[in-house]
Amino acid sequence: MSYAATAVLQEAVYSVLSGDATISTLTDGNVYDALPPGPVPSLYVSLGPERVRDASDVMADAAIHDFPIIVTSDGTGFHEAKRVAAAISDALLGSTFVMSHGAVTAMNFLRARARRVGNVREIEIWFRAMIDMGDV
């Protein structure tokens, strides 16, 4: 097992999300790995933490990466945030990921949770990426 693909997977996911026309339109381009200093946009997408586990076998090194993408909105309801969440799911599940190290062999939706956190609406969408690192 290797943790070597974690940074390139993050770069590939960010590239897909920030380059998607629908997500960009719905969020005014507010897709972040880390929020910039200053006022927070009223609607934005951020990359969350990840969990990685070994999926290697005798033929190849591989890892399973579980990670959330988080939609945050200060809107009065969830509708706008849910539209963004659906666009994120469409983008990630319908993309080919370009990575300099390893290859995404599968990208799957795991679960989602919509909740209110104070005055903010938050949708956390979890995905699972299977990364093949090549021959052992």
Instruction: Please name which of 131, 65, 68, 66 lies closest in space to residue 101, comparing C-alpha atoms.
Output: 131
pLDDT over 70 (residue 136): no
Q: How far apart are CA 41 and CA 45, in angstroms?
A: 10
pLDDT tens, position by position, 89-130: 999 999 999 898 889 999 999 999 999 999 999 999 999 999
Tokens 């005798």 label which residue?
58
pLDDT tens, position by position, 7-39: 999 999 999 999 999 999 999 999 999 888 899
Stated pTM of the model:
0.92
